[in-house]
Amino acid sequence: MKPAGLRRKLFFRIFALSVVMTIAFFLFSCAEVPVTQRKGLHLVPKSELISLSFQQYEEVLKKSKLSTDQKKVQMVRSVGERIAKASEAFLQDAGRDQQVKEYKWEFNLIEDDKTINAWAMPGGKVAVYTGILPITQDETGLAVVLGHEVAHAIADHGNERMSHALLANMGGMALSVALSQKPQKTRELFMTIFGVGANVGLLLPYSRLHENEADQIGLMLMARSGYDPRQAVPFWERMNQTEEKRPPEFLSTHPAPASRIASIKAYIPEAMSYYQRSLK
């Protein structure tokens, strides 16, 4: 065989091997989401992601004004702890005792009446803004919100989002390398993922998918905590009334109001079985 032929043969062998290795890498980097059993891409070592999460959470708290209304603060922490306890029981039932150890739950209320929001970072770091409390109205409404956010945490949506973000924005660079070479950009990317910004592009479908999963899992968590999951519907109806003109659903990181409420209603019968057991 001529040298050129040997080179082509060697090239194709190397190419085929690289394809197989890449496919194997992605397959072994997938993890299953509780309840939905969907496989998600997790390329970031959990220890690195949680370490960054804890650092960024502390930075947010330092730069924010924390609420001094002890009644509201206690409500957020009380509901949050009940939801967190239910999430750990959920994971233990699924044989994920090791995953439970990853969470250091913390719930804080940020004084900002103009921000209607709440979010959770990997490792169980959660923030609620006072602007959402008039919409939650009571503990059950707050349980809808915190169930949703805790669901994001136990479903490891943070790892999946960060994995896709690193692929899309940094060429698949490892998180530790990105933090070393581009610390500011990496931290900004992390905060965008867990903030309120909407992305149109590669990350968009995953964001909407995560919202749907968090709605489903969140209903189970609030129900298992002893909160009536049927109250999720009026909460989202109130939430929708506060929103300004919405973009088309395919340009939004959140499901459209009608789609979201329809999906939630479909999940309620399953959630009610948990709720009824919690009352016994």
Q: Has residue 10 been placed in a domain?
A: no
Q: Has residue 24 been placed in a domain?
A: no
Residues in the chain with pLDDT < 70? 1-31, 34-36, 40, 168-180, 183, 186-206, 243-254
- Pair 62, 125: CB distance under 8 Å: no
pLDDT digits (tens, 9 = 90+) for 71-111: 999 999 999 999 999 999 999 998 888 889 999 999 999 99
Q: Has residue 41 been placed in a domain?
A: yes
Among candidate residues 108, 187, 195, the one with its CA nearest the CA of residue 152: 195
Q: Has residue 269 been placed in a domain?
A: yes
The whole-number pLDDT of residue 123 equals 93
- Pair 42, 159: CB distance under 8 Å: yes
The whole-number pLDDT of residue 44 equals 76
* Order of strands, sheet of 118-121, starting from the edge strand that comes earlier in the sequence: 106-110, 125-129, 118-121
Contacts of 123 (CB under 8 A, 6+ apart): 49, 50, 53, 54, 102, 103, 104, 153
The whole-number pLDDT of residue 160 equals 84
Q: Has residue 256 been placed in a domain?
A: yes
Domains held by the chain: number: 1
Q: Has residue 241 been placed in a domain?
A: yes
Q: Has residue 18 been placed in a domain?
A: no
Determine the structural domain holding residue 146 and report its residue range. 34-278
Q: Has residue 104 been placed in a domain?
A: yes
Q: How far is CA 141 from CA 115, 147, 219, in A?
A: 17, 10, 11
